[in-house]
Amino acid sequence: MGYEAKFKVWRGDTEGGGLHDFTVEVNEGEVVLDIIHRLQATQAPDLAVRWNCKAGKCGSCSAEVNGRPRLLCMTRMSTFTQDEVVTVTPMRTFPVIRDLVTDVSFNYQKAREVPSFTPPVDLKPGDYRMQQADVERSQEFRKCIECFLCQNTCHVVRDHEDNKHAFSGPRYLMRIAELEMHPLDVADRRDLAQEEAGLGFCNITKCCTEVCPEHIKITDNALIPLKERVVDRKYDPIVWLGNKLFRR
């Protein structure tokens, strides 16, 4: 059965903005993105929202619903009571372009800073058989749809704009971890992780993992193993001596 819901939607641009009240029809089985589309069709034709697949796979429709980072297309209206006011705001960590659309270029910049997969130069096709555990680890990380909800949620940048230059965020630390743990990647990415991508800023609060719509265990399977590798090298006396002798 349909009903009328109360919505508050943030509207504005780079100059500022605020919450606007709407009363809007909701039908059975709908998600928050359906309601935003109905607002565009009936009351606010210039309301800006980014979306593409409406199936939880493109990562475009990230925003915050009642203050929680969510994909709009995967947030069912049935998770709210009919008298609950539903508040939709843009992701807080990235600059607003207009209404619910933010400028996520921070993430593309951080992606570019991760050197690509580096296999041994003399490796020929068929020379190496991957272990199943290595395949599964990469497959888990590769489920990422680049929604940037983890990047938006991590307190290191969410509350501290000035950390952005020194912290790549969970999504790109996970990419570094994937390559660092890849048996065929010969690059050593531990200095990159610690010194350029800001791994030390992460105090494993796991908020990134909690919001990931692909249920990737970002903290347990990527960030903690990466921290262990960085620490191992730092406190391994043989490695320490090697660094002293050969890295002057």
- Do the beta carbons of residue 179 and residue 111 sit within 8 Å? no
**Alpha-carbon torsion 136, 137, 140, 145, what sign?**
negative
| Residue 131 token pair | 């272990």
Q: Going by DSSP bridges, is the β-strand pair 68-71/62-65 parallel, antiparallel, or unpaired?
A: antiparallel
Out of ligand SF4, ligand FES, ligand F3S, none, which partner does residue 219 contact, by CB within 5 to 8 A per kind? Answer: ligand F3S
Give me the residues that bind ligand F3S (CB under 6 A), please: 154, 156, 170, 202-208, 219, 223
Neighbours of 93 (CB within 10 A): 25
CB burial readout 137-171, b (16+ within 10 A) else e: beebbeebbebbbbbbbbebbbeeeebbeebbbbb
Interaction between residue 52 and ligand FES (CB under 6 A): yes
**How far apart are CB 177 and ligand F3S at their closest, in Å?**
11
Q: Strands (DSSP E) along the chain, which ranges?
A: 3-13, 16-26, 62-65, 68-71, 86-89, 96-98, 101-102
> What residues between 72 and 111 interact with ligand FES by CB under 6 A?
73
Out of ligand F3S, ligand FES, ligand SF4, none, which partner does residue 75 contact, by CB within 5 to 8 A per kind? Answer: none
Out of ligand F3S, ligand SF4, ligand FES, none, which partner does residue 224 contact, by CB within 5 to 8 A per kind? Answer: none
Number of residues that bind ligand SF4 (CB under 6 A): 14
Name residue 23's beta-bridge partners: 6
- Do the beta carbons of residue 192 and residue 168 sit within 8 Å? no
Interaction between residue 36 and ligand FES (CB under 6 A): no
Complex with ligand FES: residue 57 or 158, whichever CB lies closer = 57
- Do the beta carbons of residue 208 and residue 150 sit within 8 Å? yes
Complex with ligand F3S: residue 89 or 219, whichever CB lies closer = 219
Number of residues that bind ligand FES (CB under 6 A): 12
Complex with ligand SF4: residue 39 or 104, whichever CB lies closer = 104
The CA-CA-CA angle for residues 26, 32, 35, to 5°, reads 45
Out of ligand SF4, ligand F3S, ligand FES, none, which partner does residue 198 contact, by CB within 5 to 8 A per kind? Answer: none
Select from 48-56, 92-100, 111-119, 155-163 the region that touches ligand FES (CB under 6 A).
Answer: 48-56
Q: Which residue has the tokens 């800073």?
A: 113
Interaction between residue 147 and ligand SF4 (CB under 6 A): yes
Binding site for ligand FES (CB under 6 A): 51-54, 56-61, 71, 73
